[in-house]
Structure 1
Amino acid sequence: MKAITIYSNSWCPFCRRAKMLLDHKGLTYSEINIEAEPAKRQEMIELSGRTSVPQIFIEDLHIGGCDDLFALEHQSKLDPLLSS
């Protein structure tokens, strides 16, 4: 299984929703809270080109945000990305 990283903050409902999907699928992920680690916010922006959370990565592949993650799941494209 590939490494998953999610940049988030503690109060974001979209972050919670994305993590709930990952948890439901039994996936392990690394969470980077940009509130607790403010320097990581700039890292997230540089890697994703976006300023909003969540920003989700599978290995070095930027998936996008919560809606993008759910779109991949509904199109049955998430599991192949994780196992390829």
Structure 2
Amino acid sequence: MAQIEIYTTPLCGFCHAAKRLLNSKDAGFTEIDVSRDGELRQKMMDRANGRHTVPQIFIDGTHVGGFDDLAALERQGKLDPMLAA
């Protein structure tokens, strides 16, 4: 199973949507809350090529993007192969 990291904040609706989608796939993930930690947020931004919104999702170290990007992969049938890697 792929290693998934998702940078989130507690009140982010898109974060909750991304976690729901991943949970529906029985995909385990590591959630990193950046709401109160500027260093973690900066690390997220560095890894996400400057993107500062949450969620930011990484699958096996590859930046996928936010929820819209994750949902697009699902619609295109590309998410399941990435999760199975």
Unaligned stretches of 5+ residues in structure 2: none
Unaligned stretches of 5+ residues in structure 1: none
Q: State the distance in 1 between where 2:83 and 2:24 align.
A: 15
Contact 2:10–2:33 (CA under 8 A) maintained in structure 1? yes
Q: State the distance in 2 between where 1:80 and 1:60 align.
A: 15
Letter in 1 for 2:80: D
Cα deviation, residue 30, structure 1? 0.1
1:11-58, CA deviations, whole angstroms, 9 ceiling, x for partnerless residues? 000000000000111110000000143311000000002000000000
Mean alpha-carbon deviation: is it higher for 29-38 or for 4-13? 29-38
Cα deviation, residue 82, structure 1? 1.8
C-alpha root-mean-square deviation of aligned residues, in Å?
0.9
Q: Does 1:69 align with 2:70?
A: yes
Q: TM-score normalized by structure 2?
A: 0.93
Q: TM-score normalized by structure 1?
A: 0.94
Q: State the distance in 2 between where 1:38 and 1:67 align.
A: 24
Cα deviation, residue 3, structure 1? 0.3
Superposition misfits of 4+ residues, deviation over 4 angstroms: none
Aligned residues: 84
Percent identity over the alignment is: 46
